[in-house]
Amino acid sequence: MTLHNESPIMPHPIRSVLFLALFLANALPAFAQRGLKNIPPPDPEIERKSFQVAPGFEVNLYA
Protein backbone atom coordinates (compact mmCIF):
# COMPACT_ATOMS: atom_id res chain seq x y z
CA MET A 1 0.00 0.00 0.00
CA THR A 2 1.37 3.38 -1.01
CA LEU A 3 0.30 6.69 0.47
CA HIS A 4 0.21 9.63 -1.87
CA ASN A 5 1.06 12.68 0.26
CA GLU A 6 1.56 15.17 -2.54
CA SER A 7 -1.44 17.46 -2.76
CA PRO A 8 -2.07 19.71 -5.73
CA ILE A 9 -1.68 23.44 -5.29
CA MET A 10 -5.43 23.90 -5.81
CA PRO A 11 -8.07 21.23 -5.68
CA HIS A 12 -9.65 20.37 -9.03
CA PRO A 13 -13.09 22.02 -8.47
CA ILE A 14 -11.54 25.33 -7.36
CA ARG A 15 -9.23 25.30 -10.36
CA SER A 16 -12.19 24.74 -12.69
CA VAL A 17 -14.18 27.59 -11.16
CA LEU A 18 -11.17 29.90 -11.35
CA PHE A 19 -10.60 29.02 -15.01
CA LEU A 20 -14.28 29.61 -15.83
CA ALA A 21 -14.28 32.98 -14.03
CA LEU A 22 -11.16 34.13 -15.88
CA PHE A 23 -12.59 32.97 -19.20
CA LEU A 24 -15.87 34.82 -18.67
CA ALA A 25 -14.10 37.96 -17.47
CA ASN A 26 -12.16 38.07 -20.74
CA ALA A 27 -14.98 36.97 -23.07
CA LEU A 28 -17.86 39.18 -21.89
CA PRO A 29 -16.35 42.55 -22.91
CA ALA A 30 -16.06 41.28 -26.48
CA PHE A 31 -19.81 40.64 -26.63
CA ALA A 32 -20.61 44.05 -25.12
CA GLN A 33 -19.25 45.80 -28.23
CA ARG A 34 -21.60 44.10 -30.72
CA GLY A 35 -24.34 46.78 -30.65
CA LEU A 36 -22.08 49.65 -31.68
CA LYS A 37 -22.56 49.38 -35.44
CA ASN A 38 -24.77 52.45 -36.00
CA ILE A 39 -22.40 55.16 -34.81
CA PRO A 40 -22.54 58.15 -37.16
CA PRO A 41 -19.28 59.71 -38.34
CA PRO A 42 -18.27 62.58 -36.06
CA ASP A 43 -19.22 66.06 -37.24
CA PRO A 44 -17.11 68.77 -35.55
CA GLU A 45 -19.84 71.41 -35.82
CA ILE A 46 -22.46 69.19 -34.18
CA GLU A 47 -19.96 68.23 -31.48
CA ARG A 48 -19.10 71.89 -30.83
CA LYS A 49 -22.78 72.80 -30.43
CA SER A 50 -23.25 70.03 -27.86
CA PHE A 51 -20.71 71.56 -25.43
CA GLN A 52 -21.94 73.74 -22.59
CA VAL A 53 -19.35 76.46 -22.11
CA ALA A 54 -19.36 79.23 -19.50
CA PRO A 55 -20.03 82.76 -20.81
CA GLY A 56 -16.89 84.42 -22.15
CA PHE A 57 -15.25 81.16 -23.26
CA GLU A 58 -15.17 79.52 -26.67
CA VAL A 59 -14.53 76.00 -27.92
CA ASN A 60 -12.11 75.14 -30.72
CA LEU A 61 -11.92 71.59 -32.03
CA TYR A 62 -8.74 70.37 -33.69
CA ALA A 63 -8.30 67.10 -35.52
- Domain ranges for the chain, please list them: 12-50
Q: Would you state the pLDDT for residue 6?
A: 62
- Digitized pLDDT (tens) for each residue of the chain, 63 residues in all: 555 666 666 567 888 889 999 998 888 777 777 767 777 888 888 887 888 889 999 878 776
Q: Would you state the pLDDT for residue 4?
A: 61
Burial degree of 5 (CB within 10 A; 0-12, 13-18, 19+): exposed
Using alpha carbons, select from 43, 48, 45 the residue that is nearest to residue 58: 48
